[in-house]
Amino acid sequence: MTIPNLITLMRAILVPVVFWLLLAGYIKAAFVVFVIAGVSDGIDGLLARRFNWQTELGAYLDPLADKLLIVSIFLALGVRGDLPSWLVVAVVSRDLLILLAIIVSWLLNKPIKIDPLAVSKATTFAQLALAALVLADEGFMLNVGAYRQGLVWVTAVLTILSLAAYLRSWLVHMSRD
């Protein structure tokens, strides 16, 4: 258990806290905890690379913690009506479909190594940026409606492109002998 893995676990533990804060209406507090989780993601990656503390466990935990945070934030913001339901469905469905594809590949004894694609990194960034913008807008009354709407569409397009890229990669992998 390395320091980056402990930081990642802390981030995963923050997920239900942010979720509850959002649903309970403590938007400013949810924003602060969300920012802490986001900063911890940068710190654990930096430490892992800088001190060569990368582990197989971390390779699984880090993206899992990221996905848990994104999915829970989008679900809570969707329930609150702060994000369009179609976008919440798209974001959650993308992650579930990717997870399902990984499970199917394992079950068929064709495990696939998921390397983050550039479009996937852009998608994650857009999703996190949108969540942060919505939380800041709702918590601090920033009135950034046009930017928010633009980022909704950018996030939607990147989410769909990312799913298509992963699906293509998975289909190529699964069709190999």
Q: Where are the alpha helices (DSSP H) in the chain?
A: 3-24, 27-50, 56-80, 85-107, 118-140, 145-175
Split at pLDDT 50, 70, 90, the class of 116 is: confident
State the Cα angle at 30 between 28 and 33, rounded to 5°: 110
Q: Which burial class, exposed, middle or buried, applies to 56 when counting CB atoms under 10 A from its CB (0-12, 13-18, 19+)? A: exposed
Q: Any idea where the domains of the chain sit in the sequence?
A: 3-175
Nearest to 63 by CA among 78, 48, 52: 48
Spatial distance between the Cα atoms of 46 and 51, rounded to a whole number of angstroms? 8
Write the pLDDT tens digit of every residue in 15-52: 999 999 999 999 999 999 999 999 999 999 999 999 99
Distances in whole angstroms, Cα of residue 113 to Cα of each of 10, 84, 106, 169: 25, 32, 10, 10
pLDDT above 90: residue 103: yes
**Residue 121, amino acid:** K
Average of per-residue pLDDT values in the chain: 95
Split at pLDDT 50, 70, 90, the class of 60 is: confident
Split at pLDDT 50, 70, 90, the class of 147 is: very high
**Are 74 and 143 contacting, i.e. CB atoms less than 8 angstroms apart?**
no
Split at pLDDT 50, 70, 90, the class of 158 is: very high
What DSSP character marks residue 113?
A: -
- For 3-175, CATH number out of 3.40.50.1580, 1.10.3720.10, 1.20.120.1760, 2.170.150.20 equals 1.20.120.1760
